[in-house]
């Protein structure tokens, strides 16, 4: 008699907890579906500009020494033969000194051909071997 009463109490409890567990699982599943994507890690800025000291290491010529055309791609103006010109080493693209410095202080790449001016380049300048 007692055993059957216990069983009668126990079975519904078991059923209830089973439903409860399924319910919790469903809740967990739905909330995991609805969760927004984890925020992407902030991308490191890979293209940093050059520092003033790095800019100083770039070759400086005048307009008459230009071999790659006399149009400044930064301001789209012509580079006069007596104007100071900053040359991008490697590709030899030239720009007005101020234009090149303004651009290169924000981007470490040639504005025309995107040639990279990275730290490796400056290390190579300092250690020619
Ligand atoms: Zn310019
Ligand atoms: Zn270039």
70 Cα to the center of ligand 2, angstroms = 13
Q: Which residue has the higher pLDDT, 68 or 104?
A: 104
pLDDT computed for residue 40 by the predictor: 67
pLDDT (average), residues 47-60: 88
User: Rounded to the nearest 5°, which phi and psi values hold at 76?
Assistant: 60, 20
pLDDT (average), residues 44-59: 80
% of the chain beyond a pLDDT of 70: 80
How is the chain split into domains, by residue range?
Answer: 1-37, 52-126
Q: Which ligand is nearest to the CA of 101?
A: 1
Is 92's pLDDT higher than 80? yes
73 Cα to the center of ligand 1, angstroms = 7
Predicted TM-score (pTM) of the model is: 0.59
Q: Provide the mean pLDDT of the chain.
A: 83
Torsion of CA 90, 77, 80, 71, to 10 degrees: 40
CATH number of 52-126: 3.30.40.10
Q: Which ligand is nearest to the CA of 102?
A: 1
């Amino acid at each position: 008699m007692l055993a059957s009463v216990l069983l009668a109490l126990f079975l519904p409890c078991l059923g209830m907890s089973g439903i409860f567990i399924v319910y919790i699982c469903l809740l967990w599943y739905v909330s995991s579906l609805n969760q927004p994507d984890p925020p992407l890690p902030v991308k490191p800025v890979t293209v940093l500009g050059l520092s003033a000291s790095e800019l100083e290491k770039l070759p400086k010529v005048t307009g008459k020494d230009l071999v790659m055309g006399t149009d400044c791609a930064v301001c789209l103006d012509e580079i006069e033969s007596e104007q100071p010109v900053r040359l991008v080493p490697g590709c030899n693209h030239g720009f007005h000194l101020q234009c090149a410095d303004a651009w290169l202080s924000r981007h470490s790449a040639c504005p025309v051909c995107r040639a990279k001016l990275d730290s490796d380049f400056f290390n190579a300048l300092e250690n020619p071997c």
